[in-house]
Structure formats: structure tokens, C-alpha cells
Amino acid sequence: MIAELLSSALGLALYLNTLGADFCYDDSRAIKTNQDLLPETPWIHIFYNDFWGTLLTHSGSHKSYRPLCTLSFRINHAVGGMDPWGYHLVNVLLHAAVTGLFTNFSRILFGDGYWTLIAGLLFASHPIHTEAVAGIVGRADIGACLFFLLSLMCYVKHCSTRGSSPSTWGWILGAGLCAGCSMLWKEQGVTVLAISAVYDVFVFHRLKMHQIISALCKRKNLTLFFSIGLLTSWGTALLGVRLYWMGNKPPSFSNSDNPAADSDSFLTRTLTFFYLPTKNLWLLLCPDTLSFDWSMDAVPLLKAVSDWRNLHTAAFYAGLLLLAYFSLKGSSNERECNGRTVMNGKQNANGHSCHSEMEYKTLEVKSSFASKEENGIKKHEIKKLQLPSTENIVVLSLSLLIVPFVPATNLFFYVGFVIAERVLYVPSMGFCLLVTVGVRALYVKAQKRFLKNLVFCSTAALIIFYGLKTVVRNGDWQNEEMLYRSGIKVNPAKAWGNLGNVLKSQSKISEAESAYRNALYYRSNMADMLYNLGLLLQENSRFSEALHYYKLAIGSRPTLASAYLNTGIILMNQGKTEEARRTFVKCSEIPDENLKDPHAHKSSVTSCLYNLGKLFHEQGHYEDALMVYKEAVQKMPRQFAPQSLYNMMGEAYMRMSRLPEAEHWYVESLRSKSDHIPAHLTYGKLLALTGRKSEAEKYFMKAIQLDPTKGNCYMHYGQFLLEESRLIEAAEMAKKAAELDNMEFDVVFNAAHMLRQASLNEEAEKYYEMAARLRPNFQIRRRRSHLRSITW
């Protein structure tokens, strides 16, 4: 157990500095805006929605069905809310547990010596795990790997007890259940069933390729093939249910997510897809350049056979096939066992005997249980399993490296990424086993002590360098700004764009604008970046420039509802009401099919309808406004905050003198958000109009209490007091309102009028002069005092 403890401790120690990290990158959508994490959302929704909170059968769903991971996020949210510390802690602890389990599995292959420890330390320190552990959404890969190993360990127990103990069926049941759980953490978890079959055939039974066909004819191998049949049936059932549950349709992705999949050229798709596994293997071998995102042009497409990267592809597959061929053929007579050279099976190490190839060919597959008789009673006693040969371990390692990676190869369906480092979390187990068995083979072949020490020291240095790279990379994941800056050299368009969002949130406006423009320099048709730049310009009152970029965003992605929304708002504020109306109407007609985030789209459509209703309201078309508001209520998603919409519906009914309906919607507005100030004021006006003066006054005073800095609250309360002939109190409220909002013409002018009503003519004159300075061309004598509709 020392090797397991040391490996787990290293895995824990290397990631302790991530506990203070913030939410980064995909964490926002999977955690911050995911409605499935909220206590008011029924927990059963987790099993019907994808990883991002979208209904799994929706055409725009990512089809990432990971309910157990989402459930763990919900538990995190229930315990610690949105504090990222708790989320990171769970990730680090899960990684430590996976490292310990992997080291324990390595013991089955390498025995009790230091090779087991080396395999565990390699896995604990590998930098490719950083995204999975430091990025909270990577928990899906860690959780899948945890149950992957549990399933594999259960199947190992099943193999060792098969034919000798009834508990063997309990172990295979456990293997199946853990495989199902692994798939519910992440899709690739189901591949453990294939790995289990490889272990049974090539490691436990030590069969070679040419022996498999002859083994079919032997009755003693019926239990083997029965177990393989169970694995196959269960895997088929899991995949069938998974496909049915997601609506029998594959996901659809944008061309920027996976450019090769969108290419019209068969040659380009083929060459690129064959090259990508080579690039992934290089990241495992030399994880020097890592990035939070490898989409877009991070890996340029291979468009011709003459591309020099095809040499890498050819070398990769040639090496892979040769390694697999010699491992499956197993022709060497010289064996090594746990670091000791053996010939013809004479050497024994750590209680495990090793056999030559000729002995493997003639070796009968024996039960790992022996029977002995004590006092006339037969008992079963476990014999120590023989350690597998180097060839056996290589076959299993290659399977662990390749099979879990197959779903990411675009072989069966297109995936929504080019390279994703966290996808390599499970395959990295096979890589670590391959490195360990390779180092062991070199150590055995080395004849001189100096060479043996050199091999051993080189391996130790590799682990140290991996560990140092992991610590450095963890620093990039401390916050989003550092993460995005680190990715500029790999994916400049995506990195600069995301960096712009971060800088904008820090109020570094000029730097944010530069970042957005840098992103567009590398990829000019990014609708999100065009929209974000337009939003930045709009918030800084550069409306004509903002309109330009919104129109470019719409041209790049005609379904971008938020761009229509902000375009309409600018046009409405510029007095171009007809153009604004057409923009809002067009936005409201955009369907949410095949959209990556249908919830955000529905929110934008609802806001468009809300603003269209306001436009009709301001034009005095209250019936039209109500029709639009009702459509907005029908279309609004769960996460939309409806208080302003309900309040405006109340205002429309109020203008139509339909007071009961108005009161209903004012109450609904306050029910949805009890501190919504506009609803307090409008409801107070209605109560005053219907003679409920004392209740009305309470709502006006409550509005002031909620935000004492808003002059409008004092103004409405002052108007109420004026109508009640409480002139001195009304004048005090008017002065307070004018002091707080002394740059608002309506507030200052109405304050002057109320002071004049209270016969405070000198003070009234003062505020009339202030109003005149605010709007010099306004004819004050023609102005009638009124309060505008409250539409905050």
C-alpha cells in the first residue's frame, strides 16, 4: 500500500495550489448559469438535461449526458454555494483517489516492486491532467476514470474467482454497474467493458492472436467466452439506451468547434482526422505547449498529401502497428519479471514465476484457486497470480491508450472539439503503463550497473519535470486572465476574445477593446466577438460604431438574438421607431433549433418582445403592447427575471383603466421580486387611485427604503402627498428628489412645480432655473406637470 499512498499524496500535493483558483472557462456555463444546480429546480431534471442544462432531446443540445457529474455539482452548490474552493477540493480529492486506484491496478501488472510506484508517480504528475483537475468541468473525466478503474478491478476479481466461487458473479455484476456509472459521469466510461475483455483474453489467459481461434474449441474456455458475451451484451445495452435517451440523433456543432468536420473535402477530413491522434500522443509524450482550447485554427487543416505533418501520421501508425504486432505475436524467448532477467522460466521474482514463450504456448490455463482438505472438509485457497509478461502488459496498455480515445477520433460521429486535453485523462493510464513497461525493458536489457542507474535516474527526472510542469500549468488556471493569456500562442482568436471579456469585467475598457480587435484580426467572422465589441461600444455611448458591429454579427450568425435586441434598443433610443419595431419582430421570430445555448436565446427573444411592447406602450398602442407582453410571458425561459415584464403589463392595463388586471400583474411582479422598486411605485399609484391611501403610502415609503439614493422614489411619493394636500411634506420630497437627480430634467421640473403648489415660490423659481439650464429651449410655461411611466 506504500506505492498507492505515495502516488496519491503526490497527486494531492501537486494540485493544492488550485484550491484558491476561481471559476474558469467552461465552468461558467456548466455551473454558474446551469439551472439544474439550483435548489428550486427538481433534481430529476438532471437526468433529462445535458451537461450544460439543455434538454437532451433538443436539437441544439450538446448531447453530453453526464448526470452523475451534474449531481455532484448540485451537491457542491447545496453545501458551499458558488464558492469555487469546494468545487476544486472535490476535484483534487477525486484525482488523488484515481491515482491510488491506478497504482493498485498497476500492482497486478508489475507486482510489489518499484515499477508499480513509478507507474503511479507518472500518472500523479502528468501535466495533461491539469485541465481535468484544475478546470472544474473536468470532474466528468475524473469521475468517469474513478468508476472505470473500479469496474476494471471488479472484473479482475471476477477472473480470479471464476469457476471456483459463487462470488464471481457478484464481481461481474459490480463491474457492469461501475461501467454504467462511469458512462453516466462521461460517455467514454463505457469503453472499460472492452478493456476488461482485453484483460481477460490477453493478460489473465495469456492468449496470443493465433491461439484465440483454437481456444474457441476448448470446453474449458466456455466460461471465458461467457464472460466476454456478458460484457458485450451489457455494453450494447448501455449504448442503445444512451442513444435512445438522447433522441437517436447525434449532436451538431459549429464549424469553429471542429473545422475539419465542416470541410467539403474528403481528403482534408481524412488527413486531418488521421493526424489528430498523432498530435494527442505528442501532448502525452511532451506536454510542453498546453491550451485551454484547441478549436478554430489551433491545429491547421491538412489539405494536401504533401503536407509534412503526414510524415508524423505515417510514423505514428507504423509504430503503433509494429508494437501491437510484436506484442500479440510474442516471439521472444527471453523474458523479464519485475526487473529481473529470466530464461526459460527459471527465475522467480516476488513470489511470481515467469515463463518463456514456449512455456506460455503449452501452459494450461489454471484456476487461481487450489483446493485442499482439512479435517475432511474441502476449502478454497487463493494462489498468487503470475505476473503478466511484457507483451501482455503492452497489449493492455495499448488498449487503455487507444480504446477510451476512440469516441474522440471522429470515427463514428463528429465531436465538438479538435483537441481536448481533459479527454486524455483516461487514455493517459495506458500511456503511463507503456512508459513504465518500456523503462523496465530497458533496465533489464542494460548489462552494466551504470546503464541501469542511468535508466532509473532518467525516469525519476521525467517524473520531476512532469511535476514541475504541472505546478506551473496550475498557475495558469488560477484565474481566467492568466488562463487566456497562456492560450494566445495556440489559439489567438479564442484567447484574445475571452481575454477581452475578462478585461471588460475589470473595467479596463481600452484594453478590452484592443483584445476584441485582436481576436477579430485573427478570425474576422466570429459572431460572438463582433457582438461583444458592439456591446462594449454601446455601453460607452459609441452607438453608431456599436450598430455597425451588431450588423456584422448578425451577418455572420443570423440567429444571434442578442444582437437584434441591442440593435433594436439603440434604434428605439435614436427615435427610429419603425426600424426598431422591425428589428424586434424579426428577433422574436428566430427559432431556437440547433442553437448551442437555447436558454440564452429564449432570454434574448423575451427581452426583444418586452422592448417591442414598451415601444407600443410609448406610442399609446396599449392593446398591441399587451399582446406582445403575453407572447413574451409564453416564451420566457425559467431563468428569465419577469418582474419588469409583469410591471409593464400592469402599466398597460392601468392605462386602459382595467384596474383589477393591473393589480394582478403588479402583485405578480412583486411576487417574482419582492424588492422591485418600480412595482412598489406603480402599485402604490394604483392603490392611491382606488382609495387605499394608507396601503399606497406604505408602498411608496418601502420603495424609498429599498433605495434611498433614487430621486424618482421621492418624486412619486411627493406627488402622492401633493394629491393628499400635504403640501409641506410634498415639497420636502420634491427637494430631496431634485438634490439626488439634479441632472434629470423631469425630476427637477416636477420638483419646481410641487414647490410652487406648496407656495414656496422662491425655491420653486430656483428649480425652474435649474430645469431651464438643463433644457434651454424648453418652453416651461407650456409644460404641464406629469410623471412618466415607470419602466425601469
- The mean-pLDDT minimum among 384-393, 609-618, 668-677 falls in 384-393
- The mean-pLDDT minimum among 310-319, 331-340, 348-357, 675-684 falls in 348-357
733 alpha-carbon distance from chain centroid: 51
Condensed to tens digits (0 to 9), the pLDDT of residues 700-740 reads 999 999 988 888 888 888 889 888 888 888 888 888 888 88
- The mean-pLDDT minimum among 173-182, 304-313, 386-395, 412-421 falls in 412-421
Cα 197 from Cα 203, distance rounded (Å): 10
Could you tell me if 119 and 108 are in contact, meaning their C-beta atoms sit under 8 angstroms apart? no
Cα 618 from Cα 790, distance rounded (Å): 11
Could you tell me if 649 and 629 are in contact, meaning their C-beta atoms sit under 8 angstroms apart? yes
**Amino acid (1-letter code) at residue 295:** S
Condensed to tens digits (0 to 9), the pLDDT of residues 222-261 reads 888 899 999 999 999 999 999 888 877 777 777 778 888 8
φ/ψ (deg, to 5) at 759: 65, 20
Cα 440 from Cα 122, distance rounded (Å): 14
DSSP state of 335: E
- Helix (H) or strand (E) holding 196, with range, is helix 192-198
Report the C-alpha dihedral over residues 153, 156, 160, 162, rounded to 10 degrees. Answer: 110
Could you tell me if 410 and 195 are in contact, meaning their C-beta atoms sit under 8 angstroms apart? no
Coil, helix or strand at residue 352: strand
Q: Calculate the average pLDDT of the chain.
A: 87
Least Cα distance to 225 among 189, 202, 201, 194 occurs for 201
* Greatest CA separation for the chain: 119
The confidence score (pLDDT) of residue 215 equals 67
Cα 373 from Cα 712, distance rounded (Å): 95
pLDDT band for 216, please (50, 70, 90 cuts): low
Q: Does the structure show a pLDDT above 50 at 383?
A: no
Domains along the sequence of the chain with CATH: 1-256+392-472 (no CATH), 521-774 (1.25.40.10)
Cα 27 from Cα 49, distance rounded (Å): 17
The C-alpha cell of 198 is what? 482485453
Instruction: Residue 184: count other Cβ atoms within 10 Å of its Cβ.
Output: 24
The C-alpha cell of 95 is what? 484525482
Cα 785 from Cα 751, distance rounded (Å): 9
Q: What is the mean pLDDT of residues 14-43?
A: 88
Cα 669 from Cα 672, distance rounded (Å): 5
17 alpha-carbon distance from chain centroid: 21
Place of cell 472505470: 148
Can you give the pTM of this predicted structure?
A: 0.84
pLDDT band for 361, please (50, 70, 90 cuts): very low
Condensed to tens digits (0 to 9), the pLDDT of residues 36-46 reads 998 988 999 99
- Helix (H) or strand (E) holding 503, with range, is helix 492-505
Cα 730 from Cα 788, distance rounded (Å): 18
Could you tell me if 419 and 276 are in contact, meaning their C-beta atoms sit under 8 angstroms apart? yes
Least Cα distance to 116 among 192, 281, 5 occurs for 5
The C-alpha cell of 768 is what? 425652474
Distances (CA, A) of 306 to 268, 302, 430: 12, 9, 32
Could you tell me if 635 and 606 are in contact, meaning their C-beta atoms sit under 8 angstroms apart? yes
Q: Does the structure show a pLDDT above 90 at 649?
A: yes
Which residues make beta-bridge pairs with 650?
none
**Amino acid (1-letter code) at residue 458:** S
Condensed to tens digits (0 to 9), the pLDDT of residues 533-554 reads 999 999 999 999 999 999 999 9
Q: What is the mean pLDDT of residues 75-83?
A: 93
Cα 423 from Cα 188, distance rounded (Å): 9
Which residues make beta-bridge pairs with 343?
334
The confidence score (pLDDT) of residue 584 equals 95
Coil, helix or strand at residue 172: helix
Cα 143 from Cα 140, distance rounded (Å): 5
Condensed to tens digits (0 to 9), the pLDDT of residues 556-575 reads 999 999 999 999 999 999 99
Cα 483 from Cα 21, distance rounded (Å): 11
Least Cα distance to 530 among 505, 493, 503 occurs for 493
